[in-house]
Structure 1
Amino acid sequence: MVKYLRFQPSGKKIIASRGKSLLQIGLSGGLKLQHHCANGNCGECRARLISGRTSRVKVADYCLSEQEKAANTLLMCCHEPDWTSGDPEIVLEALEQGQDKTIDLQNMLITVTRIEEAGDDYRIVSCKTPRSQALQFYAGQQVALETRDGQRLRLAVANCPCEGRFLEFHVAKTSGCGHAGEVFPNLKKGDKLALRGPYGEAVFRDECDRPIIFVAYESGFSAINSLIEQAQALEFEAPQTLFRFSAGGGPYYRANLCHAWEDALDNFTYVECQEPVDTKERMVTACAS
């Protein structure tokens, strides 16, 4: 059975996904819902249940007042749709940030949970935020990272904003991949990184219904990865084309993921440039052809 979440006062209607909290569903659907920890500690994702049934999936440390309970207030991060109920729609009243509102800079200490080699030139670094704090960001934005020994780098967050506690970064190994010298060469699982951000204005605008062309050069694919995941979460129906370029003409890391998108999505096309490209003019020419 298909279930929908409708958020007031925006009126935005989103298809619910199994295994996701109300907060994750809303963020996946492009809503800028007010939240902080996404883990039941802070209470900032409070919403009022107007109609429909939900199921609690997580015990919260934050305690609702008796008045809030009487008003059917819940924490969106701790509830999901009640899939045993026959109600096709859940209506919530929730606070949202404006589409054009700048997200405040956040500071936190994140932990490296996994490092995956991605070809000869890149590492995929997975991290998690503290239990009491999730990163709020828009798809396409960057953060500044710093190791305990003072190494610094600004990287795009590669995942969808709906997963604010579990972050992914694409780290180049050498300066030839678009960064100045080797970066984080001794990084390992369990290391702590100081994070500050987000930065940047190249974000996904879900009110646009025109075809989209994504252009990724070298490590620029990381920001594009986030934008594409956001478009998929929004079930964006307009045609999308991803062009990938590099100074060496390939091979391209995470190419299998791009091919999987093309196979799974009727409106998605993936194009790899096999010739070396080192100027914006050549990229524009290749896209136009």
Structure 2
Amino acid sequence: MKRKVAGLVLAATLALTGAGEAVARTILFVGNSFTYGHGSPVRRYHPERVMDLNGEGVGGVPALFKTFADQAGLDWQVSLETAGGQDLAFHLERRGQRIDRAWDVVVLQGFSTLDAANPGDPTKHVVAARALADMMLRANPRVSVRLVSTWPRADLAYRPGSPWSGKPVAALAETVAQANRLAAEGNARFGAALPVGAAWLRAIEAGVADPNPYDGITFDKIDLWTWDHYHASTEGYYLEALVEFGAITGVDPRTLGARERAAEDLGMNPQVAVRLQQIAAETLGLAGAPAPAPVRKR
């Protein structure tokens, strides 16, 4: 009898602590236009499915995450706090009281060049990320804080005048990823960074996405950037959401399939949706055939 009780306790513990378990959980997305979906229909995608703490009617990437979770039969309560053109220090200093509560998972997305005044300098980003993580830890000692390693900006790589001008398109993404590694170094409160930039680069290397929108889009390739070559297109935000969903929940993005609801709602080519699901899965290190499809809620 004691062994049976011990086994039940262990199973319950694993259900609470294991990655990707289908338990009711809360998640907060903190970020800027890269999170709320500037330049695409994603910005106003089903805001009723999420809680916008600013009351601005944003759906964004968090609403895509929620839509994926519902289709997978997962109970996630999704909230967001976003502000265009801002870094993590802004959210800490100006929105701290709004977000200072207990969450199971917190996703932090900083400024695209880390520091608007000193592009590429990680100092401000690292300090703010650690302070936000400390705040979240005080509210919930078991919180998982995840930093987003964002995508490269074509405008900074292919136009003159930026620190990344003339460098490989991957350079900015690696700058951000390195800053996130620095922030998390020696800090157990951070989970693994969310490799959105790596997924974009994989899509380019695999011939799924075009590497340079300034010289035209090659036939049969997608443009992950929107019209300003800075923010993401619908497909770019979709890939972002797939990576974050797979990394946080443990669900293989490929199980969403060609009839995935958000892709249908947004008018995406089903074949493109499947290709992006594959890119997300590869980026997350998932090999072989996907697991059986999850329960669908449509």
Same fold (TM over 0.5): no
State which structure, 1 or 2, has the greater radius of gyration over its C-alpha atoms: 1
TM-score relative to the length of structure 2? 0.27
TM-score by length of 1: 0.28
Q: Which has a greater percent of helix? A: 2
